[in-house]
Amino acid sequence: MIIKATTKVYGIFGHPVNHSLSPQMHNAAFQSLRLDCVYLAFDVHPKDFEIAARAIKSMCISGVNITIPHKESIIFFLDEISPEASLTGAVNTVKNVDGKLIGYNTDVSGFLRAIKEDLGFHPKGLSAALIGAGGAARAVLTSLCMNEAYQVYVINRTLDKAKRLALEFKKGFKDTFIQAVSLDDKDEIKNILGKTNLLVNATSAGMKGDDSVEMPLEHLQKEAVIYDLVYDPRETNLIKTAKELGHKASGGLSMLLYQGVESFEIWTGKDAPIGVMKKALGII
Ligand code: NAP
């Protein structure tokens, strides 16, 4: 592609960011639609975040994705945020509309679309067990509650964090039963797995081949499905074991894809070339 004075600049702010697959996904999409746009990765240290966030306006950057550890800090610099982002308390997509910055959280809809496409699952009226209580777990919990899950167990290593998350969401979503559980409470976890329809790993355990969280998957109901947000490796030990036990199970690359698809559509107002983006991520 030819970079010109008119080329619109998009990017991702994170730290670290050199592992990100978003530049290859978005640049492939821009090129396939012949858009005069480019997407770059910016490694922004937390101490420099304010300068970088203010530069979106001052340098006329058209849009950015925001990743670890800045998804919450960005909110202070925005003019408006979407309902999903407000419920999640985190923003992963910013659009610059003539100097007005609008924040979105496309992890919320990206997760929903991923479980629908990969696992044929919709949470309405069903039961989920969510492992983790960090930023990604907040997006998943928002998605499950907004889509009328009947009950969600939030299982976390640090129980206090799960309790705070459960309490906060119970206030906003009165129709979903939400309960915090310690990752150490093996008996309760066995009991929960026996009645859960969807098990989600939203912890960082399992990344780069590290051990996945230990789950007694043999207690899951036969039809239960499993989604692991970790996408490196593409198949974590959790997913492998679940598949060996005969469950439908999928890793986090599809959520990465669909959050990107929605960011692209928010920025450009055009249908994202999903096939091209899948290819760029090595999904097909
Ligand atoms: P985070 O805010 O740092 O939260 C990390 C969570 O993982 C916490 O609940 C933490 O428990 C738990 N945890 C970490 N190591 C653990 C271990 N060894 N055993 C048990 N629990 C452990 O991170 P995040 O932003 O939520 O991201 C979590 C994961 O989701 C990352 O791997 C990230 O790459 C992935 N992610 C994927 C997508 C996607 O599109 N597929 C999108 C967003 C995030 P404590 O509270 O006890 O510390």
Closest ligand 1 atom to 110 CA? 40
- What is the arithmetic mean of pLDDT over 19-46? 98
* Cβ 243 under 6 angstroms from ligand 1: no
Give the pLDDT mean for 113-128: 98
Distance CA 200, CA 155 (A): 10
| Confidence (pLDDT) at 209 | 77
What confidence score (pLDDT) does residue 206 get? 86
CA of 69 to the centre of ligand 1 (A): 12
Is pLDDT at 48 greater than 80 in this prediction? yes
How does pLDDT run across 86-111, given as a tens digit for each residue? 999 999 999 999 999 999 999 999 99
Q: Whose CA is nearest to atom 27 of ligand 1?
A: 136
pLDDT at 273: 98
What's the 176 CA to ligand 1 centre distance in angstroms? 23
pLDDT for residue 147 is more than 80: yes
Does the C-beta of 204 come closer than 6 Å to ligand 1?
Answer: yes
Q: Which residues pair with 250 in a beta bridge?
A: 227
Mean pLDDT of 264-280: 98
Look at residues 88, 108, 105 and name the one whose alpha carbon lies nearest to residue 168: 88
pLDDT range class, residue 1, cuts 50, 70, 90: confident
Model confidence at 258: pLDDT above 80: yes
Cβ-count burial 203-230 (b if 16+ within 10 Å, e if not):
bebbbeeeebbebebeebeeebbbbbbb
CA of 133 relative to ligand 1 center, distance in Å: 8
pLDDT band at 208 (very low <50, low <70, confident <90, very high): confident
Structure tokens that stand for 189 in this block: 């976890």
Any ligand 1 atom below 6 A from CB of 107:
yes
HEC states along 72-86? Answer: CHHHHHCCEECHHHH
Question: How confident is the model over 182-197, as a mean pLDDT?
Answer: 97
Stretch 50-68: mean pLDDT, rounded? 98
What is the pLDDT, as a whole number, of residue 212?
84
